[in-house]
Amino acid sequence: MNVIVPPSMDKQRVLSGVQPTGNLHLGNYLGAIRNWVEVQDQYENYFCVVDLHAITAPHNPSTLAEDTYTIAALYLACGIDLNHSTIFVQSHISAHSELAWLLNCLTPINWLHDMIQFKEKAIKQGENVSMGLLDYPVLMAADILLYQADKVPVGEDQKQHLELTRDIVDRFNHQFGGGQAILKRPNPMIRHEGARVMSLTDGTKKMSKSDPSELSRINLLDSPDEIQKKIKKCKTDPYRGLAFGVVDRPECHNLLTLYMVLSGQSREKVAAEGEDMGWGQFKPLLTDTIIEALRPIQSMYTQVRSEPTYLESVLTHGRERAEVLANKTLERVKEALGFSRPR
Ligand code: TYM
């Protein structure tokens, strides 16, 4: 495998990231990474592993670095192409933390208290809620703004964080821009199908890495046996005939959507196929479809991990490329805020 042709500089820029908290699941893949891959040749792309975000919940220091490598390798395995995209680790570029601090000082605290994801995660964390969890969206804004990204492909759950980022941009440019748009307003890129993959054990809850039940999600590195077991045990309903969008049948909608997206068939075709089907017939079909969709990703993952120096070189090169852009924006922001320069 070779490292890297520089992406063209006249394309619009994309930035996105995933936290290295455990394995990636089908929600991360369908809501985010698959979309990065599909449009990467149209943009100049930066994809980071957001390890600083991963410590906003209690974490295990002995697995953080390994988890970071796993996610970077999965980016490559899912089809991120270094001819179009740069892959790097957030904590390797100190400008992320520094810009987050600067933006903290102009972000009203009540904007952060209003974040849905903060409220949900804070409830789960109970007594242990850190400043970092509250500040999570400001660090995310820093990630995006350092690269002056035009588009940010994410799942639906990140929409509110993108709105906050845009509010921070407006506030910064208004207060410190002196008539110039120093920071660029990014646009979310959220695809309809797969933007919100639901849990396998409760079709009203989003599939999530933090769900204590492994049965609630399919991980990209699950073996065929694990996938079979999870689909066998997943929640369904007592009705015969499968259909999209029926009130009170959230599991049915979610599983049919997974089947549709992963098999690459149209909604109409899947709706017609499911019309007379029972769960006993559908579950093996879905199981096979998931296994087949993940097979090439898993085999590429094994190949990437078998060459550790290759992954190292991808991340080193990625850091070097990304750092140039990040530092440039950071300097402009510091200048606008009136900081002295070291002499
Ligand atoms: P994370 O790791 O929680 O999620 C990574 C991506 O996966 C999407 N996602 C889902 N999409 C559909 N259905 C689901 N059940 C599902 N669960 C997760 C998320 O929307 C996300 O796109 N805050 C970000 C990480 C981040 C980031 C950034 C993203 C940090 N800085 C800058 C974009 C730009 C997050 O949610 O990570």
User: Is 121 an active-site residue?
Assistant: yes
Find, among 87, 106, 188, 99, the residue nearest to 141 by Cα: 99
Position 8 scores a pLDDT of 54
Please give all residues whose beta carbon lies within 6 A of any atom in ligand 1, as ranges.
15-19, 27-28, 30-32, 50, 53, 140, 143-144, 152, 154-155, 157-158, 161, 195-197, 206-207
Q: Is there a catalytic annotation at residue 206?
A: yes
- Name 198's bridge partners: 206
Q: How far is the CA of 239 from the centre of ligand 1 (A)?
A: 33
The pLDDT assigned to 23 comes to 82
In the 8-state DSSP scheme, what is residue 153?
E
Residue 25 DSSP one-character state: B
What tens-digit pLDDT sequence spans the chain (343 residues)?
Answer: 555 545 556 899 999 999 998 789 999 999 999 999 999 999 999 999 999 999 998 899 999 999 999 999 999 999 999 999 999 999 999 999 999 999 999 999 999 998 999 988 888 877 788 899 999 999 999 999 999 999 999 999 999 999 999 999 999 999 999 989 999 999 999 988 888 999 999 999 999 998 999 999 999 999 999 999 999 999 999 999 999 999 999 999 999 999 999 999 999 999 999 999 999 999 999 999 999 999 999 999 999 999 989 999 999 999 999 999 999 999 999 999 999 988 8
Active site residue 283: no
CA-CA distance, 183 to 326, in Å (whole number)? 12
In angstroms, what CA-CA distances link 197 with 121, 204, 326?
18, 10, 32
pLDDT score recorded for residue 193: 83
Across the strands, what pairs with 328? none
DSSP letters spanning 192-241 = STTSSPBPSS-TTSB--TT-S-GGG--BTT--HHHHHHHHHHS---S-SS
Q: What are phi and psi of 206, to 5 degrees?
A: -70, 145
Q: Output the residue whose Cα is nearest ligand 1's atom 16.
A: 27
In ligand 1, the atom with minimum distance to the C-alpha of 199 is 15
Tell me, what amino acid is at 128? N
User: Which two three-digit tokens encode residue 127?
Assistant: 């007594």
Strands (E), the chain: 13-18, 44-49, 85-89, 151-153, 187-189
Vertex 305 angle, CA 304 and 308, to 5°: 100
Atom of ligand 1 nearest to the CA of 15: 34
> For helices 95-104 and 131-146, what crossing angle results, to 10°?
110
